[in-house]
Amino acid sequence: MASMNRVVLLGNLTRDPELRSTPSGTSVANFGLAVNRRWTNRQGEKVDGVDYFNIVVWGKLAELCSDYIHKGSPVALEGRLQSRTWETEVGQKRSVVEVVAENIQFLGKPGAKDAPDLDSRVSEAPPQREEPPQKEEADFDLGSDIPF
């Protein structure tokens, strides 16, 4: 029997990516992702909910996440679920299921991390648009000589 482990999520970061390196020098970043959902309950009322996920990103993609996204940034990601278990110092068993992201699409505006606040952008005048050049009329007549 075939098996598949794929996850596609679209949401907003709940915290800034935390970038670290393994002893061998591989970059790894962790951040949280909130995904909104809406459903109708038995009474016919619309109900909103939020699901939270821990995201792990490796390699160059981890470095890009650290540089370009931050808390609140919208992202779309694709990856796989991974479960880990460990034992604490006092002997308690712990486990976690996290998403290991393999592809991430940054959905915010480029440079939004360093963009000025909204109030300073609203006061700026929008750039003036140039009129598109006028098309010149053709010097030839297609007429009825077209074979179709």
Domains of the chain in start order, with CATH, are 7-122 (2.40.50.140)
Q: What share of the chain is helix, strand, coil (3-state, %, to 5)?
A: 10, 45, 45
Question: Which of 14-28, 86-100, 112-126 has the least mean pLDDT?
Answer: 112-126
20-67 pLDDT, tens digit each:
999 999 999 999 999 999 999 999 999 999 999 999 999 999 999 999
Tell which wins on pLDDT, 121 or 7: 7
Strand pairing category for 27-40 and 74-87: unpaired
123-146 pLDDT, tens digit each:
333 344 444 444 444 444 445 554
Give me the amino acid identity at 32.
G
Q: Which residues contact 139 (CB under 8 A, 6 or more apart)?
A: none
Q: Which residues contact 86 (CB under 8 A, 6 or more apart)?
A: 93, 94, 95
Which residue from 82, 65, 81, 83 is spatially nearest to 73, judged by alpha carbons? 65
Does the pLDDT value for residue 148 go beyond 50?
no
Q: How far apart are CA 81 and CA 99, in angstroms?
A: 5
pLDDT at 108: 78
Q: What are residue 81's phi and psi, to 5 degrees? A: -85, 140
